[in-house]
Chains A and B, each alone.
Chain A
Amino acid sequence: QKEVEQDPGPLSVPEGAIVSLNCTYSNSAFQYFMWYRQYSRKGPELLMYTYSSGNKEDGRFTAQVDKSSKYISLFIRDSQPSDSATYLCAMSDYGNNRLAFGKGNQVVVIP
């Protein structure tokens, strides 16, 4: 079983729709949860960062962490064509900066 599972299927949505992405994980020691956005042929850009369980909102983006279910989510409201990118979930445990990544979801927002 991989540490982090992210269904890599591409996702196409119309502009203005809500995008919902999620990851599951197996390592109960993970405490830090991140979402990165990666444009084609570029490095990952940190989008959201959450410590332990709970919700975090930043503009159109909401990250949720449910440690009891080992499940994290990212929601993008009012999606824009500029949101078209690959979204990677990542996580690490306390005192350890080694990130475990999911495979990524390619999101396409159609104008």
Chain B
Amino acid sequence: DAGVTQSPTHLIKTRGQQVTLRCSPKSGHDTVSWYQQALGQGPQFIFQYYEEEERQRGNFPDRFSGHQFPNYSSELNVNALLLGDSALYLCASSLGTGTAFFGQGTRLTVV
């Protein structure tokens, strides 16, 4: 079992650009959530996808959008990047109610 995989591992972007991050959930998991973790902080919930629909959303602007594919994999898109978007972006997968398993994250640096 490969667990939750994310790509890329690192990314450097310029302010104003757009970025797409990818996640493959743990085998058998149908729910994918995205979190943003700033340095020295706990992860903050961005949104969650289930059955290809956004089911819940945290307090993040519309510049953050996502998608879930029929195979349960997911993408996180961020438009008009700001310096403050620099963070570790984490994908978590789960099945029903219960524990979430995280990937290694994508470290995004906006310059």
The reply on B78 being an interface residue by CB < 8 A is no
A14-22, A53-61, A67-75, A96-104: which one contacts chain B?
A: A96-104
| Count of residues in B whose CB is under 8 Å from the partner chain | 28
Contacts of A94 in B (CB 8 A): 97
Contacts of A34 in B (CB 8 A): 99-100
Per a CB cutoff under 8 Å, which of B90, B100, B104 touches A97? B100
Do the beta carbons of B45 and A100 come within 8 Å of each other? yes
Do the beta carbons of A96 and B56 come within 8 Å of each other? yes
CB distance from B5 to the nearest CB of A (A): 10
Q: How far is the CA of A72 from the CA of B54 in the complex (A)?
A: 30
The reply on A30 being an interface residue by CB < 8 A is no
- A49-B99, A97-B31 in contact; A41/B43 too (CB < 8 A)? no
The reply on A111 being an interface residue by CB < 8 A is no
- A43-B102, A97-B33 in contact; A102/B42 too (CB < 8 A)? yes
Find residues 31-62 in chain A having any chain B CB closer than 8 Å to their own CB. 32, 34, 36, 41-46, 49
Residues on A facing B (Cβ under 8 Å): 4, 6, 8, 32, 34, 36, 41-46, 49, 88, 90, 92, 94-104
Residues on B facing A (Cβ under 8 Å): 4, 6, 31, 33, 35, 40-45, 48, 56, 58, 88, 90, 92, 94, 97-105, 107
